[in-house]
């Protein structure tokens, strides 16, 4: 055992979160908000006042719409379902989709980007042309077409959101992988007999981890927004699965005057979740982005200008006195 070494008490992840907490308070709070959403999603069945029966909330068409009251904290929707429960189960939908789409699309980006960079040659050329062409087609259109192909449903939505995201993100990963691949240690690895696969897994991916994590954090916000948009357009989950976007489109619009809470709650929820994801992603990027480390001076003229102005004012006062 190396006794001269200080015992490393904490892993890198712990250090990261401590740094996040200390330097970027808003990011840290956003992370807590996201965790709150995740917990709500996990414990939906426990928290929701009205539980799901057979995968759907029981509608109570007789009672219909009711304003917020002690019994129904957020009121009910047009089908008599408790809105709070609907929102909680909707959180579950959003969280499931958000996490799975983010992870799948990042995995796709990594596979495409790293393989393209390491294998190089004609393979790289072809893949790059394909990614270029793909990016020329506006994202919304691709998703519409994909939705038309796959149909609606959670699994299908996962595919529809992940695939374009994965292809688009491969650009950044590929350029990061290139920077690593040309390093001397990769050449040495090849000389030792390492093939492309070895290079990718052992050298390239560990060295681009910061980029990968950044990719993960940044895509979360977009994914959640996409999910809401697709549900809004009616191309998302089926009518029985609770989803924020869906209730906004099916009832929020029509009932805005009579029952504004139906229209307001999902909108606020979506905004909050995307906001938290975006702020968290920002914090992660600020800490992890290798391009921001070093090189960029931290000289800020503003602070100095303020100080200079203060001294000038004082000098003036002295001169006038």
Partner 1 sequence: MSKPNVGHPTTAEMPISGAVQRMIDWDINAQAGVSNAVQEEILRVEGLKMHFPVTKGLLKRQIGNVKAVDDVSFFIKKGETLGIVGESGSGKSTVGNCIMRNLDITSGKIIFDGVDIAPMKGRELKELSKKLTMITQDPFSSLDPRMTVKDSILEGVRIHHLMKGEGNQEDLTKRLLIMVGLNPDFSDRFPHEFSGGQRQRISIARALAINPSFIVCDEIVSALDVSIQAQIVALMMKLQEKLGLTYIFIGHDLSVVRHLSNQVAVMYLGKFMELTSSDELYNHPLHPYTQALISAAPIPKPRIDRTRVRILLEGEVPSPINPPKGCNFCTRCKFADQQCKEEEPAFTDVGGGHMVACHKVTGS
Partner 2 sequence: MSKYVIKRLLLLIPTILLVGVIVFSLMRLIPGSAVDMVVYNYSKSGITITYEEAEAKLGLDKPAPVQFVEWMAGLFHGDLGNCLFKSESVWSVISRQVPISLELGVLTLLLATVISIPLGLFCASHPDTLADNIIRIISVVLMSIPIFWVGTLVLVYPAIWWGYSVPLKYVSFFQDPLENMKMFFIPALVGAITQVGVQIRAVRTMTLEVMRQDYVRTAWAKGAKEIRVMYGHAFRNALIPIITLFGGAIAGLMGGSVVMENMFNIPGVGQQLVTALTNRDYPLAQGCTVIFAIFVMLVNLIVDLAYKWCDPRVTLE
Binding-site partner at residue 4 among partner 1, partner 2, none, CB < 5 to 8 Å by type: partner 1
Which of partner 1, partner 2, none has residue 196 at its interface (CB below 5 to 8 Å by kind)?
none
Burial of 195: CB neighbours in 10 Å, binned 0-12, 13-18, 19+: exposed
Q: Which two tokens stand for residue 293?
A: 């480390």
Question: Which of 6, 7, 53, 184 lies at the binding interface for partner 1 (CB under 8 A)?
Answer: 184
One residue of 51, 198, 213, 264 binding partner 1 per CB under 8 A: 198
Distance (Å, whole) CA 226 – CA 237: 13
**In contact, 174 and 125? CB cutoff 8 Å:** no
- Which residue, among 286, 207, 276, has the nearest Cα to 33 in the 3D structure? 276
Window of 9-17, 72-80, 97-105, 292-300 that interacts with partner 2 by CB under 8 A: 292-300
**φ/ψ of residue 221, rounded to 5:** -60, -45
Interacting residue with partner 1 among 111, 190, 255, 282 (CB under 8 A) = 190
Tokens 């805005």 belong to 256
Is residue 82 helix, strand or coil?
strand
Q: Is 238 in the site for partner 2 (CB under 8 A)?
A: no
The listed partner (partner 1, partner 2, none) that binds 6, CB under 5 to 8 Å by sort, is: none
Question: Which residue is associated with the tokens 């990011």?
Answer: 27
- Please, what is the minimum distance in Å from the beta carbon of residue 151 to partner 2? 8
Beta strands at 52-53 and 56-57: parallel, antiparallel or unpaired? antiparallel
Q: Using CA atoms, how far apart are residues 175 and 247, in angstroms rounded to an integer?
A: 41
Query: Any contact of residue 132 with partner 2 (CB under 8 A)?
Result: yes
Q: How far is the CB of 7 from partner 1 (least distance, A)?
A: 12
The size of the interface with partner 2 (CB under 8 A), counted in residues, is 53
Decide: is 252 part of the binding site for partner 2 (CB under 8 A). Answer: yes
Q: Which residue pairs, CB below 8 angstroms and at least 24 apart, start in 264-267?
A: 265/74, 265/83, 265/87, 266/87, 266/90
Least distance from partner 2 to the Cβ atom of residue 116, Å: 15
188 sits near partner 1 (criterion: CB under 8 A):
yes
The verdict on 207 binding partner 1 (CB under 8 A) reads: yes
- Rounded Cα distance between 215 and 219, Å, is 6
Q: Is 271 in the site for partner 2 (CB under 8 A)?
A: yes
Q: Which residues sit at the interface with partner 1, rule CB under 8 A? A: 1-5, 183-185, 187-195, 198, 202-203, 206-207
């Amino acid at each position: 055992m190396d006794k001269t070494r200080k015992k490393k008490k904490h892993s890198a992840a712990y250090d990261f979160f401590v740094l996040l907490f200390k330097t970027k308070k808003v990011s840290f709070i956003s992370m807590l908000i996201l965790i709150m959403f995740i917990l709500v999603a996990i414990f939906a069945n426990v928290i929701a006042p009205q539980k799901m029966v057979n995968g759907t909330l029981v509608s109570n068409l007789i009672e219909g719409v009711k304003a917020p009251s002690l019994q129904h904290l957020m009121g009910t929707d047009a089908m008599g379902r408790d809105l709070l429960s609907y929102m909680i189960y909707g959180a579950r939908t959003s969280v499931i989709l958000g996490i799975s789409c983010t992870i799948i699309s990042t995995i796709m980006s990594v596979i495409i980007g790293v393989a393209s960079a390491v294998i190089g040659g004609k393979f790289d050329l072809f893949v790059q042309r394909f990614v270029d062409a793909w990016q020329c087609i506006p994202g919304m259109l691709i998703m519409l077409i994909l939705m038309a192909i796959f149909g609606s449903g959670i699994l299908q939505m996962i595919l529809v959101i992940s695939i374009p995201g994965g292809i688009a993100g491969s650009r950044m990963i590929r350029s990061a992988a290139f920077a690593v691949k040309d390093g001397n240690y990769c050449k040495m690895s090849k000389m030792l007999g390492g093939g492309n696969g070895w290079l990718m897994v052992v050298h390239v991916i560990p060295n681009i981890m910061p980029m990968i994590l950044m990719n993960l954090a940044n895509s979360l916000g977009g994914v959640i927004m996409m999910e809401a948009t697709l549900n809004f357009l009616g191309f998302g989950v089926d009518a029985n699965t609770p989803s924020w976007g869906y209730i906004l489109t099916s009832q929020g619009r029509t009932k805005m005057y009579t029952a504004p809470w139906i229209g307001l709650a999902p909108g606020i929820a979506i905004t909050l979740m995307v906001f938290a994801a975006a702020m968290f992603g920002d914090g992660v990027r600020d800490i992890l982005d290798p391009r921001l480390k070093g090189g960029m001076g931290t000289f800020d003229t503003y602070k100095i200008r303020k100080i200079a102005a203060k001294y000038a004012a004082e000098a003036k006062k002295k001169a006038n006195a």
